[in-house]
């Protein structure tokens, strides 16, 4: 199957309220254009340099999502155009995004990344830190960012029950703060686990290899 066909097959499965981020990291522009020509307009990258290069080369109606771990000293390169930063995992990073957004006269949309996995390697806030942020005066402290919701990655495992538990934990946390803080995005689910994520209440899935092939 080619990229356009795989994309179409996935879109058929997704409920109407679930947004698809096509994760195109490491893939050449030509592959992204195949998805673009099949109607895809939201692409996810995990390296700022690569996303910026692709942004410059590709049509301007694309929404670029930064899904990876962000180095603070590189925020300035994506600040003029990034549509959504999924992986905000520290207040220092939030501060830097706010600063660069202000310089660009923009309000940058972000998601707070929550650590839900049973692994050492995944970034994110814990539940208590998320509570602290939403109970703080963050709208005043970070006037040029808009916290749109939460993002999380489940443990890389084939234990379906564990993945379900982790996504449910994230969904419950989201529900606790969504209404009061006007949150609309719960980003969870990748190629291997997006069906479980959707069952658990995901509103945004980040799918790479199932569209573009393995990396
Ligand atoms: C690479 C990546 C994805 C997509 O992974 P696939 O398994 O290829 O679908 C999703 N989210 C994040 C944060 C990633 O880094």
Rounded to whole angstroms, how far apart are CA atoms 3 and 213? 8
pLDDT score recorded for residue 199: 98
Q: How confident is the model at residue 87 (pLDDT cuts 50, 70, 90)?
A: very high
- The count of structural domains within the chain is 1
Summarised one tens digit per residue, pLDDT across range 66-85 is 999 999 999 999 999 999 99
Block residue for tokens 């929404």: 63
215 in any annotated domain = no
Report the distance separating Cα 95 and Cα 85, nearest Å. 13
CATH code of 67's domain: 3.20.20.10
Residue 149 in domain: yes
Per-residue model confidence as pLDDT tens digits over 186-202: 999 999 999 999 999 99
In the prediction, which pLDDT does 118 show? 86
Please work out whether the CB of residue 113 comes within 6 Å of at least one atom of ligand 1.
no
Number of Cβ within 10 Å of residue 195's Cβ equals 14
Q: Cβ(46) to ligand 1 under 6 A?
A: yes
Of the candidates 28, 44, 37, which has an alpha carbon nearest to the alpha carbon of residue 7?
A: 37
Residue 154 Cβ inside 6 Å of ligand 1? The answer reads no
Does ligand 1 lie within 6 Å of residue 191's CB atom?
A: yes
Asked if residue 189 has its Cβ within 6 Å of ligand 1, the reply is: no
Q: Is 106 exposed, middle or buried (0-12, 13-18, 19+ CB in 10 A)?
A: middle
CB-based contact 43:68 (threshold 8 Å): no
| Residue 9 lies inside a defined structural domain of this protein | yes
**Residue 67 near ligand 1, beta carbon < 6 Å:** yes
Taking the complete model, does pTM exceed 0.75, yes or no? yes
Q: Are strands 145-152 and 108-114 parallel, antiparallel or unpaired?
A: parallel
Ligand 1 centroid to 53 CA: how many Å? 19
In a domain, 7, yes or no: yes
For ligand 1, what atom is nearest to the CA of residue 46?
Answer: 15
Ligand 1 and 207: CB distance under 6 A: yes
Pocket test for ligand 1, best of 10, 13, 46 (most atoms within 8 A of CB): 46
Range of the domain at 59: 3-210
Q: Which helix (H) or strand (E) holds 201?
A: none
CA–centroid distance, 190 to ligand 1, in Å, is 6
The pLDDT tens digits of the residues spanning 148-179 come to 999 999 999 999 999 999 999 999 999 999 99
Distance 208 CA to ligand 1 centre (A): 6
Report the C-alpha gap between 96 and 137 in whole angstroms: 17
Residue nearest to ligand 1 atom 4, measured at CA: 208
Name the closest-CA residue to atom 15, ligand 1. 68
d(CA 66, CA 50): 10
Q: Find the helix or strand (DSSP H, E) in which 75 lies.
A: helix 75-78
Q: Which atom of ligand 1 is nearest to the CA of 215?
A: 8
Instruction: Give the percent of the chain with pLDDT over 70.
Output: 99
């Amino acid at each position: 199957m080619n990229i356009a066909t795989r994309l179409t097959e996935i879109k058929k499965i997704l409920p109407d309220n679930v947004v698809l981020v096509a994760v195109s990291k490491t893939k050449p522009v030509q592959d992204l254009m195949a998805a673009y020509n099949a109607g895809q307009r939201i692409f996810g990258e995990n390296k700022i340099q690569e996303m910026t290069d692709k942004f410059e080369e590709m049509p301007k109606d694309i929404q670029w999502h930064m899904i990876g771990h962000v180095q603070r000293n590189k925020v300035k390169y994506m600040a003029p155009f990034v549509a959504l930063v999924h992986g905000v995992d520290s207040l220092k990073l939030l501060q830097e995004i706010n600063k660069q957004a202000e310089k660009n006269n923009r309000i940058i949309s972000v998601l707070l990344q929550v650590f839900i996995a049973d692994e050492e390697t995944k970034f994110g806030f814990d539940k208590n830190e998320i509570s602290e942020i939403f109970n703080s005066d963050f709208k005043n402290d970070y006037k040029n960012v808009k916290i749109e919701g939460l993002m999380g990655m489940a443990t890389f495992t084939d234990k379906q029950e564990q993945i379900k538990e982790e996504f449910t934990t994230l969904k419950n946390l989201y529900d606790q703060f969504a209404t009061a803080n006007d949150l609309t995005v719960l980003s969870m689910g990748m190629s291997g686990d997006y069906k479980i994520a959707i069952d658990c209440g995901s509103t945004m899935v980040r799918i790479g290899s199932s569209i573009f092939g393995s990396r």
